[in-house]
């Protein structure tokens, strides 16, 4: 009987000690999550500017410079090829800069194609860019502007050929410019509200 009482006493002691330890642990966990304590957010690999992003940006920059040299030399085809290479650059997954740089490259590429009279390919380049855009941006707005210019160029060709479809192209150009203006206004408003 006495032995059983002692066993019960030990069991009670162990249970109480466990309860105390659990309560203390919960208390310390809660304390560590308080805002004044050490709050460390380790950024994920895609969050911060890393070497991979910088390399991709540097390559895009170099292709643009190369294209500029070709353009200054009048080699529009070579300049077009150089800009086209920007579209196949590998950026870190999910980097917003990637979309901006590619859209801007498409805008330049389309203008180069227009200057070479390749209006259909220019329109395809723009349309693909707009279809791939995941968000509204100043680069999307710029691409709409270039789209308007392509429509204008088409209208000019049709006008020269006395083709009545020139009016449609002009209306499409106005619609593209309007869309660009709308996006720019919306983004500027959002940016001002964010400040």
Applying CB under 8 A, the span of 59-67, 125-133, 158-166, 168-176 interacting with other proteins comes to 59-67
| Per CB under 8 A, 96 contacts other proteins | yes
Determine the longest span between alpha carbons in the chain, in angstroms: 116
Q: How buried is residue 22: exposed, middle or buried, by Cβ count under 10 Å (0-12/13-18/19+)? A: exposed
Q: How far is the CB of 161 from other proteins (least distance, A)?
A: 26
User: How far is Cα 169 from Cα 180, in angstroms, rounded to an integer?
Assistant: 16
3-class DSSP state of 96:
helix
Whole-Å CA distances, 136 to 9, 139, 143, 180: 71, 8, 11, 10
The token duo for 30 is 């809660």
Closest CA to 85 of 66, 113, 69: 66
| Per CB under 8 A, 57 contacts other proteins | yes
Candidates 78, 89, 97, 157; binder of other proteins (CB under 8 A) is: 97
User: How far is Cα 189 from Cα 70, in angstroms, rounded to an integer?
Assistant: 38
| Per CB under 8 A, 162 contacts other proteins | no
Of 68 and 163, nearer to other proteins (C-beta) is 68
Of 179 and 184, nearer to other proteins (C-beta) is 184
User: How far is Cα 193 from Cα 195, in angstroms, rounded to an integer?
Assistant: 6
Applying CB under 8 A, the span of 26-34, 119-127, 153-161, 166-174 interacting with other proteins comes to 26-34
| Per CB under 8 A, 40 contacts other proteins | yes
The residues binding other proteins (CB under 8 A) are 2, 6, 9-10, 12-13, 15-17, 19-20, 22-24, 26-27, 30, 33-35, 39-43, 46-51, 53-54, 57-58, 60-61, 64-65, 67-68, 83, 92, 94-97, 100-101, 104-105, 107-108, 111-112, 135, 137-139, 141-142, 145-146, 149, 184, 187-188, 191
């Amino acid at each position: 009987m006495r032995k059983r009482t002692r066993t019960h006493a030990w069991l009670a002691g162990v249970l109480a000690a466990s309860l105390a330890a659990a309560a203390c642990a919960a208390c310390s966990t809660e304390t560590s999550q308080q805002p004044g304590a050490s709050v460390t957010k380790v950024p994920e690999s895609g969050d911060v500017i890393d070497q991979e992003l910088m390399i991709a940006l540097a390559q895009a920059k170099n292709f643009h410079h190369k294209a500029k040299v070709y353009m200054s030399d009048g080699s529009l085809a070579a300049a077009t090829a150089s800009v086209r290479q920007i579209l196949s650059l590998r950026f870190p997954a999910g980097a917003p800069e990637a979309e901006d740089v590619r859209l801007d490259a498409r805008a330049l590429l389309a203008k180069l194609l227009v200057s070479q009279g390749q209006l259909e390919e220019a329109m395809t380049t723009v349309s693909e860019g707009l279809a791939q855009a995941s968000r509204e941006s100043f680069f999307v707005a710029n691409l709409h502007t270039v789209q308007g210019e392509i429509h204008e160029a088409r209208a000019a060709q049709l006008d020269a050929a006395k083709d009545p479809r020139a009016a449609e192209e002009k209306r499409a150009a106005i619609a593209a410019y309007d869309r660009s203006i709308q996006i720019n206004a919306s983004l500027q408003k959002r940016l001002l509200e964010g400040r």
